[in-house]
């Protein structure tokens, strides 16, 4: 039984003007570069670093990279993953692969909201995108590959047909020598958005945004940074249920900045003993 007794809510206000003018300082040296909007990093079973990258301004450029911690060499494991520029924030930003969890030789990847919704006619509102860049946004993918593949691969790339096949429930297989096959399948595809009527815009929707996950026996606990909840997903059937939701929290800067309450925006999840942190 998982206990949801410990959680952290963190908020940050970033002065983009300061960052843009170079006044912000990063005291740590650069370890690896050339990544595409990286969001999460984990260790593989072979002690390499696996990095989830949300992509570029070009649709479907999400990527999973392998970084050798000994020499910082970066190689591609999987490219062509679903991604797109998300236009909902103050500045457009790529949204794609967002969270990683690995058990044995199987890697689970959350895919974020992409461009499944667009800004609505009133500030803060959303409308469905009639032509999203992928039908795999707000999903979880399973990638199985051997230790030999992790050691020698120069990367595999999904094309449009591969992504369409995954969305249709088919398993994609890349054959490689040495190392054997790399298989990819869709575990579950969450709703891209739900209705969220507002007094000033009854047709408003809110997009989903899976942003992290952990593995617990035959289930995945997936945190959604937009729906403000944790979903449980059966790794075999893809069946989903809601483990818990997070209520809005008081905005300590109100009334000077923002509304009275704000979303908690849970964007990462880990086990701490039997608890979820």
Which pLDDT score is estimated for 10? 35
- Structural domain includes residue 87: yes
> Do the domain assignments include residue 230?
no
Contact 158, 184 (CB under 8 A): yes
Report the DSSP beta bridge partners of residue 100.
109
Q: Which residues pair with 106 in a beta bridge?
A: 103, 144
pLDDT (tens digit, 9 = 90+) per residue, 123-155?
Answer: 999 999 999 999 999 999 999 999 999 999 999
Q: What is the mean pLDDT of residues 198-220?
A: 97
> Residue 20: its pLDDT value, please?
39
On the CB side of 250, CA atoms within 13 Å amount to 4
How many angstroms separate the CA atoms of 158 and 50, rounded? 18
What is the distance between the alpha carbons of residues 128 and 115, in angstroms, rounded to a whole number? 9
Q: Mapping DSSP to helix (H, G, I), strand (E, B) and coil, where does residue 89 land?
A: coil
Q: Structural domain of residue 42, as residue ranges?
A: 31-210
Q: Are 218 and 108 spatial neighbours (Cβ–Cβ below 8 Å)?
A: no
**pLDDT at residue 177, rounded to an integer:** 82
Say whether pLDDT at 230 is over 70: yes
Residue 146 within any structural domain of the chain? yes
Question: Phi-psi region for residue 167, left (φ > 0), alpha (ψ -120 to 50) or beta?
Answer: alpha
Q: Could you report the per-residue pLDDT of 99-118, keeping only the tens digit for each? A: 999 999 999 999 999 999 99
Kindly tell me if the per-residue pLDDT of 204 is higher than 70.
Answer: yes
Tell me the pLDDT of the chain averaged across its residues. Answer: 91
DSSP classification of residue 47: S
Mean pLDDT of 2-22: 38
Contact yes or no for 134/56 (Cβ under 8 A) = no
Identify the H or E element spanning 152: helix 147-152
**What is the Cα–Cα distance from 53 to 98, expressed in whole angstroms?**
7
Determine, yes or no, domain membership for 187.
yes
What is the DSSP annotation of 208-274? --EEEEEEETTEEEEEETTTTEEEEEETTT--EEEEEE---EE-TTTTTSS-SEE--------EETT
Is the pLDDT higher at 24 or at 265?
A: 265
In a domain, 148, yes or no: yes
Residue showing tokens 């020698």: 152
In a domain, 250, yes or no: no
Contact present, 184 and 211 (Cβ < 8 Å):
no
The number of residues making up the chain comes to 277
The three-class DSSP label of residue 53 is strand
pLDDT in tens, 173-188: 999 888 899 999 999 9
Return the percentage of the chain with pLDDT > 90, whole number. Answer: 84
pLDDT tier for residue 90 given thresholds of 50, 70 and 90: confident
Question: What's the confidence (pLDDT) of residue 11?
Answer: 32
pTM: 0.89
Total domains present in the chain: 1
- pLDDT tens for residues 22-59? 455 667 889 999 999 999 999 999 999 999 999 999 99
Q: Is residue 233 part of a domain?
A: no
For residue 25, what pLDDT is reported? Answer: 63
How confident is residue 9, by pLDDT bands cut at 50, 70 and 90?
A: very low
Beta bridge pairs of residue 78: 64, 156
Q: Which two tokens stand for residue 220?
A: 């995945």
Q: Which residues have a Cβ under 8 Å from the Cβ of 264 and sit 6 or more positions away?
A: 9, 228, 246, 247, 248, 249
Q: For residue 138, tell me if it sits in a domain.
A: yes
């Amino acid at each position: 039984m998982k206990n949801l007794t410990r959680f952290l809510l963190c908020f940050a206000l970033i002065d983009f003007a300061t960052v843009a003018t170079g006044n912000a300082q990063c005291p740590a040296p650069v370890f690896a570069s050339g990544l595409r909007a990286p969001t999460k990093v984990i260790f593989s079973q072979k002690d390499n670093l696996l990095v989830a990258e949300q992509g570029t301004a070009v649709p479907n450029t999400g990527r999973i990279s392998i970084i050798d911690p000994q020499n910082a060499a970066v190689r591609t494991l999987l490219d062509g993953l679903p991604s797109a520029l998300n236009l909902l924030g103050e500045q457009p930003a790529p949204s794609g692969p967002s969270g990683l969890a690995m058990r044995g030789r199987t890697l689970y990847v959350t895919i974020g909201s992409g461009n499944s919704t667009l800004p609505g006619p009133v500030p803060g509102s959303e409308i469905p995108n009639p032509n999203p860049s992928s039908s795999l946004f707000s999903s979880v993918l399973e990638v199985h590959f051997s230790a030999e593949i992790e050691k020698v691969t120069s990367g595999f790339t999904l094309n449009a047909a591969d992504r369409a096949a995954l969305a249709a429930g088919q398993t994609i297989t890349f054959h490689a020598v040495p190392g054997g096959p790399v298989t990819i399948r869709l575990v579950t595809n969450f709703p891209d958005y739900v209705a969220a009527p507002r007094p000033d815009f009854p047709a408003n929707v809110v997009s989903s945004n899976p942003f992290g996950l952990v593995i617990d026996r035959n289930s995945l606990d997936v945190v959604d940074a937009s729906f403000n909840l944790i979903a449980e997903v059966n790794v075999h059937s893809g069946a989903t249920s809601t483990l818990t939701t997070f209520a809005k929290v008081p905005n300590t800067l109100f009334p000077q900045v923002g509304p009275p309450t704000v979303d908690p925006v849970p964007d990462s999840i880990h086990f701490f003993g039997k608890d979820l942190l």
